[in-house]
A and B are shown apart, each in its own frame.
Chain A
Amino acid sequence: MRWLSLMEKLRAPLMILPAVATIILLFFGGLLVGLGQSLGYFPAIDSYDLTLQYYAEVLSDNIFFESLWQTFRLALLSTVMSSVLAIALALVLRQTFKGSRFFTFMFQLSIPIPHLVAAAGIVLLVSQSGILARGAYALGLIDAPRDFPVMVFDRPGTAIQLTYLWKEVPFIGVVVLAVLQGIGPQYEEVARTLGANSWQRFRFVLLPLIMPGVLSTSIIVFAYVFASYEIPLLLGVRHPTTLPVLAFQNYQDPDLSLRPQAMAMSIILTLIAIVLLVAYKRLANYAVSR
């Protein structure tokens, strides 16, 4: 009997152990090694003494701050625009009408498409000799490719943001849509009977209900864009590039002594991401509960 109850007690921890062990070993283990290296513990080049030298080097570099700002700006703009558009489109798609299943499918279409393919598609569309420029020429709006606005390899990163919008709007939208479909029409009908107009019904009935989903997905999107590598590398300017690109360039340099700097850079990036996300979650919870 005691054996049985012990088994019962150990059951949940045993079920969780494989997942937790994998994440701790791989993610937190990797994090720890990275942290050690950023502090100068790097046995491969016979460096064992702990130092803050690499952080000082990174923080005294202007390129680092320019890249940090570029990374933050891209992540913030992509996240805000994706969230707003996703909510708006989900509100349209939640209604049942003829063909709504087809339109929902089209809305979801970009979710499974890899980011690289999206990037290629956006370049073919918005570059100065892309489909849109050709359309503009055919309509007589421009005379040559150089008349078309620069959207690829530009400082604001237009093509980068378009790629993220195209990918992330449906991701946030699908979650919002699922929540909206679970709610049903009752709440809004009650609000309508009580005299709430359509803005009030959205602000005080629907928004608080979809906010948890928007909050979580926008956090995922922000973290993803903040740490992403291949899209800014393909579509962005060389300088200022984003922090992950800068960090990986340093990391992959044949000169191994650049690695601790790359690690310090990545650790700072991670810390900033954590601080921003915690602040955002606090702020959003406060704004919604008000």
Chain B
Amino acid sequence: MNKILRWLVLAIIVITALAPILPQFVWSFSHRWLFPSLLPSQWSTEPWEYVFTATSRVGEGFFNSLAIAVVVSLLSILVGLPASRALALHNFRGKSAIEWLLMVPIIVPGIVATMGIHQVFIRLGLTDTFIGVCLVHLIPCIPYMVLVMSSVFANYGTELEDTARTLGAGTFSVWRFVTLPGILPGLLVATMFTFLISWGQYITTVLIGGGTIITLPMVLFPFISGTNYPNAAAISLVFVAPAILVLIFTSRQLGRESSVMGGFGRL
């Protein structure tokens, strides 16, 4: 009885996971698909041809989204990694206040900050620029980097680093051959978070990018709201592809390493 129930639950998990995604494959190859047909009455590759035209701006949006997400992830690592290490392995005055401060952007709605930054960026000439969009994406990304990585560093012993140093390894060698391999699984998950947060941003990019910096969600949005489902589905699938790739690379760490996701329990 218990076993039947379990298989039922598992079947529901698989069906609900795929139900919103798989029909989009069919929609992206349809020309006419009216109620109540279960399959399109006319198939077509038009939506995909449209995706690859310059006028659709899907390519431009894709590369902008990618470039922004990569830059934001690298900046998050650069800024977040030393902070995570300090929070996990050092003791200093005001530590809990600092921890709190770095977590605030994921607990407190960012709507005021986004509008406020918009005003400042107008003055600084950062609106409508690539770097301005990257900076505003950093706000939700840095906290996730610190949340995951400080938990990883907390479970990471520094003895191996000491041993390597005693054996004569320089600062860079210790980092490259001891520290990095030790934290890499966690770093992958943290980077997945920052990449995907940036990849999915909509209103912050609209506001700061001002329509000059076009990203994929901005290309997709009008097709959903305008109920052009064949084109919406094709662009959706382009939007999903890198995300699924990222999950395949990080799925094992996500499921198995309790120290990686355990950070969320300490918020």
Contacts and interface: CB of A to CB of B under 8 A. Distances in A.
B262 A113 contact: no
**Which of B78, B90, B203 counts the most A-chain CB atoms under 10 A from its CB?**
B203
A273 B108 contact: yes
Main secondary structure of the interface of B (DSSP, over half): helix
A115 interface: yes
A112 B117 contact: no
A108 B18 CA distance: 11
Interface of A: 11-16, 18-20, 22-24, 26-35, 37, 44, 89, 92-93, 95, 97, 101, 103-125, 129, 131, 133-135, 137-138, 145, 166, 174-175, 177-179, 181-182, 212-213, 215-217, 219-220, 223, 226-227, 229-230, 233-234, 244, 247-248, 251-252, 259, 262-263, 266-267, 269-270, 273-274, 277
Interface of B: 6, 9-10, 13-14, 16-21, 23-24, 27, 34-38, 78-80, 82-83, 85-87, 90-92, 98, 101-102, 104-117, 119-120, 135-136, 138-139, 142-143, 146, 192, 196, 199-200, 202-203, 207, 217, 220-221, 224-225, 229, 232-233, 236, 239-240, 243-244, 246-247, 251, 254-258, 260-262, 264-267
Nearest to A112: B243
Given A12-B91, A23-B142, A37-B116, 19 more contacts: A15-B86, A19-B102, A23-B101, A27-B113, A30-B115, A30-B120, A34-B113, A104-B255, A112-B192, A114-B217, A115-B202, A116-B202, A117-B240, A120-B20, A122-B20, A129-B35, A220-B264, A230-B203, A234-B225
A219 B267 contact: yes
4 tightest A-B CB contacts, nearest first:
A121-B20, A227-B109, A30-B116, A182-B258
A221 B229 CA distance: 28
A13 B115 contact: no
Nearest to A8: B90
A234 B261 CA distance: 31
Nearest to B146: A19
A269 B111 contact: yes
A124 B101 contact: no
29 contacts: A13-B92, A14-B82, A20-B101, A23-B101, A23-B143, A26-B136, A31-B116, A106-B14, A106-B17, A108-B251, A109-B21, A110-B17, A114-B196, A121-B20, A121-B21, A123-B224, A124-B233, A145-B35, A177-B255, A178-B256, A178-B258, A178-B261, A212-B266, A216-B264, A216-B267, A223-B109, A230-B221, A248-B111, A273-B109
A270 B19 contact: no
Contacts of A124: 20, 23-24, 27, 229, 233
A12 B92 contact: yes
Contacts of B256: 178, 181
Contact of A114 (B106, B243, B264, B265): B243
B12 to A, nearest CB: 9
Contacts of A223: 106-109
A114 B229 contact: no
A220 B21 CA distance: 25
A13 B120 CA distance: 27
A179 B266 CA distance: 12
Nearest to B200: A114
Contacts of B262: 175, 178-179, 182, 213
A112 B246 contact: yes
A267 B112 contact: yes
Nearest to B224: A120
B219 to A, nearest CB: 10
Given A122-B20, A137-B35, A227 B110 contact: yes
Nearest to A9: B92
Given A178-B255, A220-B107, A33 B16 contact: no
Given A19-B102, A107-B13, A223-B107, A116 B220 contact: yes
Contacts of A121: 19-21, 23-24, 236
A185 to B, nearest CB: 14
Contacts of B247: 108-109, 111-112
